[in-house]
């Protein structure tokens, strides 16, 4: 049997909510690993997963928020001969030096941790070519002695940290096919928010490929969540109405106000408390402070912009790390890139937005649009692999 030990992330500092945090993490792991044959045990400090293929499973666990570290441990009987045998088996022969760290959960164990480390170290020296280096060892062999057996492991794999997805309730992410919004989604998932995605499409001005690209991005995000849904907004009628009724330079500002209005109403409908997007201060005309002021004015909900203060290169770094970059740079048009005026207003004025919006009955279009939102679920791993 192989065993994976999971140390919890930041959640252990939140005493009152600890049980909820741990239960949520367990459920998330179960969802992620539902095709694997595993047994989970947990206590207040750790989770233990019994499994057959610890290497493969630990790869998946590296994408679960709420995990501080992962170790692949081997369980043996409490006698030192069995521990030695396993130690020699798992210590990497390409490495030279080692030290033993012993932890005793079972304090009734007859000898001290120091003494145990010394004894085991001496046995390893005698039975192998490794040498001891207590200050800077190539291998740290950790031995944890418990009542029901001894766990032994060499490497601690760093987890993602953050909070288990779901402990903070729902948030609605405006997900485009760009680089920024998937990163914004990832960072918000990291804080435990259960992200739902809202995608605005304008067929026939936007293509099926553009939509599939967004679904692919959602699928990548789903590896970090397990419960991603994409809500697709039919935005054509609204965009054409704006095009017909508003001056060129205000088209983008008003289009984004309509996006925010739809997001606001729809968030209410699905019980999302916050809106999330990939806006970054100053990146384009619609993201100057004056633009943000005018656009944000249509909602009272908190709008979280995780990448607001990052440079594009910093956002790209994260996109590469989380695996969305290669998909994001595929060249399909977005509803923001059609009907783009040559010179969008950089410093829009709120009273003008209100005035231009009086030119058409946007309320009825809003209602019709929201009534026709399509929900896409079932983002199983690799489901959308063939889309692009």
Least separation in angstroms between residue 265's CB and ligand ATP is: 15
- Please name the helix (run of DSSP H) or strand (run of DSSP E) that holds residue 304, with its range, or none: strand 303-304
Least separation in angstroms between residue 165's CB and ligand ATP is: 19
The contact set with ligand ATP (CB under 6 A) reads: 174-176, 178-181, 198-200, 277-279, 283-284, 334-336
Stretch that binds Mg ion, among 1-9, 172-180, 321-329, 334-342 (CB under 5 A): 172-180
Residue of 258, 263, 232 whose CA lies nearest to 245: 258
Least separation in angstroms between residue 284's CB and Mg ion is: 7
- 194 is a contact residue toward Mg ion (CB under 5 A): no
Quote the CA–CA distance of 68 and 4 in Å, as a whole number.
Answer: 13
Least separation in angstroms between residue 182's CB and ligand ATP is: 7
Least separation in angstroms between residue 65's CB and ligand ATP is: 20
* Residue labelled with tokens 């485009």: 176
The correct pick among 26, 144, 180, 194 for binding Mg ion (CB under 5 A) is 180
Three-class SS state of 269: helix
- The sign of the CA dihedral 387, 263, 28, 13 is positive
With beta carbons less than 8 A apart as the criterion, state whether 186 and 318 touch: yes
In angstroms, the Cα distances linking 342 to 46, 250, 253, 355 are: 57, 11, 14, 22
Nearer to ligand ATP, 78 or 283 (CB): 283
Least separation in angstroms between residue 153's CB and ligand ATP is: 41
* Residue labelled with tokens 């809500």: 231
Nearer to ligand ATP, 128 or 290 (CB): 290
Nearer to ligand ATP, 284 or 354 (CB): 284
Nearer to ligand ATP, 134 or 329 (CB): 329
Q: Which two tokens stand for residue 364?
A: 């009825």
Nearer to ligand ATP, 142 or 181 (CB): 181
Residue of 270, 194, 224, 190 whose CA lies nearest to 10: 190
With beta carbons less than 8 A apart as the criterion, state whether 193 and 186 touch: no
With beta carbons less than 8 A apart as the criterion, state whether 69 and 160 touch: no
- Among all residues, whose Cβ is closest to ligand ATP? 178
Nearer to ligand ATP, 102 or 291 (CB): 291
Residues near Mg ion, by CB under 5 A:
180
């Amino acid at each position: 049997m192989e065993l994976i030990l999971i140390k919890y992330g930041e959640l252990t500092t939140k005493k009152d909510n600890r049980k909820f945090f741990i239960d949520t993490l367990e459920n998330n792991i179960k969802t992620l690993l539902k095709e694997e044959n595993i047994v989970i045990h947990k206590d207040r400090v750790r989770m233990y997963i019994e499994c057959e293929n610890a290497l493969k499973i630990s790869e998946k666990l590296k994408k679960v928020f709420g995990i501080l570290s992962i170790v692949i441990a081997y369980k043996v009987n409490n006698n030192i001969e069995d521990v030695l045998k396993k130690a020699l088996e798992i210590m990497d022969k390409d490495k030279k030096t080692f030290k033993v760290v012993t932890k005793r959960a079972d304090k009734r164990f007859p000898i001290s941790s120091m003494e145990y480390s010394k004894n085991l170290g001496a046995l390893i020296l005698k039975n192998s070519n490794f040498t001891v280096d207590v200050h800077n060892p190539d291998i740290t062999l950790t031995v944890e002695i418990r009542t029901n057996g001894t766990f032994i492991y060499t490497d601690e794999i760093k987890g993602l940290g953050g909070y288990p997805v779901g402990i903070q309730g729902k948030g609605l992410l405006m997900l485009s096919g760009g680089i920024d919004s998937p990163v914004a989604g990832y960072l918000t998932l990291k804080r435990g928010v259960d992200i739902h995605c809202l995608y605005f499409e304008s067929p026939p001005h936007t293509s099926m490929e553009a939509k599939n690209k967004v679904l692919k991005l959602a699928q990548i995000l789903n590896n970090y969540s397990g419960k991603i849904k994409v809500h697709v907004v039919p935005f054509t009628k609204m965009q054409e109405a704006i095009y017909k009724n508003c001056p060129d330079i205000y088209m983008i500002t008003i289009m984004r106000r309509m996006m925010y209005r739809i997001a606001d109403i729809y968030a209410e409908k699905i019980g999302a408390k916050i809106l999330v997007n990939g806006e970054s201060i100053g990146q384009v005309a619609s993201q100057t402070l004056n633009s943000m002021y005018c656009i944000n004015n249509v909602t009272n909900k908190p709008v979280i912009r995780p990448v607001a203060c990052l440079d594009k290169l910093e956002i790209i770094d994260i996109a590469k790390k989380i695996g969305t970059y290669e998909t994001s740079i595929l060249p399909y048009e977005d509803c923001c890139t059609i009907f783009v005026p040559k010179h969008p207003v950089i410093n829009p004025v709120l009273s003008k937005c209100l005035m231009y919006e009086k030119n058409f009955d946007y309320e009825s279009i809003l209602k019709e649009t929201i009534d026709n939102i399509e929900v896409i679920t079932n983002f199983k791993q690799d489901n959308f692999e063939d889309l692009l």
